[in-house]
Amino acid sequence: MTNHAELYPTQPAQGSLIGIFDSGVGGLSILRELQRLLPGQPKLFIADQAHVPYGPRPLEEVRQFSESITRFLLDRGAEVIVVACNAASAASLKTLRQHYPGVPFIGMEPAVKPAAEQTHSGVVGVLATPATFQGELYASVVERFASHVTLMQSTCPGLVQQIEAGNLDGRETRQILEEALNPMLQAGIDTVVLGCTHYPFVIPLIQSIAGDQVRVINPAEAVARQTGRVLEQYGTPAKVSGVVLPQLFSTSSTLLQLRQLANGFLPPETSVNQLCWDIRSVLSFCENHVS
């Protein structure tokens, strides 16, 4: 039996451990920027691929998943938590902050504000999942910052699943994006907001459909910078020297896509390991360690 205490020490060797989670591989787009801007900071990333996608699920169910994952991350020593999922942020960020008032949470907010400020045509496209569009956070952002522009929305049905399968530029993925973007382009959009952390992985395909005249807003860098500011604010300055490889986990027994996308910005020796949900919806280490 694997000695999990030896494999994954509760306290990081240096710096404040950043916990990051998403419904699937999409959160790697945030981890990639965190690793670029804060390479010396220890990180633990969880992809809940057993339940991906979160977007079509009831908000209460997403809250339960988020609560269990947060508890696991805190038990492993996380001092800051990045909810690297727009659907989870919309469904659970407010509740998580209430339940854990001493823990700083960084969530995903659709970048409608900068899009509304920078558009010249006055028409902005937003690609997101149903949970994001239904959440109070999105409605609040639109009301405060985008009342003077026209927003065109699409949930891109099936796109998350295509990205999870590693199909970043295939025929099915292109068709989903064309169906979402073509009506927006006909209406005169000059900006597209990515409201799902999976979507940055298909930016090249989005640009090939929309053209260079359409600006694509990827919030990953802004989230990484905000994480650094939060670390400073809470008295644990971010370490930027050296490189600490993150710990990667998935709740799926199929780890191939998570590993392949991570290999794009992490050394190939970075391990990807499995976590298991029990019948009480509690997250724990699986008995078998997967390298």
Q: Decide if 34 contacts 229 (C-beta within 8 A).
A: no
Query: Nearest to residue 48, comparing CAs of 5, 97, 101, 91?
Result: 91
Q: Does the active-site annotation cover 85?
A: yes
Q: Decide if 18 contacts 46 (C-beta within 8 A).
A: no
CA dist 224 and 197 (Å) reads: 13
CB within 8 Å of 147: residues ≥ 6 apart:
none
- Of the candidates 156, 196, 276, 286, the residue annotated as catalytic is 196
Distances (CA, A) of 121 to 118, 184, 187, 211, 233: 9, 12, 10, 15, 38
- The first and second tokens of residue 233, run together, are 């604010």
- Of the candidates 85, 156, 276, 286, the residue annotated as catalytic is 85
Q: What are the catalytic residues?
A: 85, 196
